[in-house]
A = this chain, B = another copy of it.
Amino acid sequence: MARMRTAPCPVMRTVDLVGDKWTLLILRDAFDGLRRFSQFQRSLGIAKNILSDRLAALVASGIMRTEPASDGTSYHAYVLTEKGLELFDLIVTLRQWGERNAFESGEEYRTLIDETTGEPLARVTYVRPDGRPLRRGETRLGDFRSMD
């Protein structure tokens, strides 16, 4: 894979960091509250070397970090950094698309509960800072801009 790390496209940079099946599922589990190596491993049924590799990559890219000791034990935990927490919308987006496009009628799926209502989270939509909704086709590729 080419030099994604230095590409000028933000999508490519993001994809390079989290565009992997296991990585995305680890992030999902992290948002569901999982923190420890063995929790991820049991939840995902992932080989330990792969999990080790993905977690190390997430830590290296600043999306997760290891915490010395969460509970009483001396084992450490993998937790999302602020940068990682900002991926919340990504997991929500994956979930909502899947709910609407990846299940047949009658199939069961696991919902996400909106704790402000107690009901399954309704469809969320993107709005601009001024509150106007963002619709498909309202954007086009622009030119280059320098990072703040």
Residues of A within 8 A of B (CB): 1-2, 4, 8-17, 19-21, 24-25, 28, 32, 45, 83, 85-116, 120-129, 131-132, 134, 136, 138-148
Contacts and interface: CB of A to CB of B under 8 A. Distances in A.
Contacts of A123: 129
Given A20-B19, A89-B97, A97-B87, A121 B108 contact: no
14 contacts: A1-B21, A8-B107, A10-B98, A10-B99, A14-B95, A17-B102, A88-B136, A106-B147, A111-B143, A112-B142, A114-B128, A125-B127, A125-B129, A127-B127
Contacts of A109: 8-10, 13, 144-145, 147
A109 to B, nearest CB: 5
B148 A94 contact: no
Given A13-B102, A32-B141, A89-B97, 18 more contacts: A8-B109, A8-B110, A10-B98, A10-B102, A10-B110, A11-B98, A19-B24, A20-B21, A86-B97, A87-B97, A90-B93, A92-B126, A105-B147, A109-B147, A110-B141, A112-B142, A124-B128, A125-B126
Given A15-B24, A103-B13, A107-B146, A139 B126 contact: no
A90 to B, nearest CB: 5
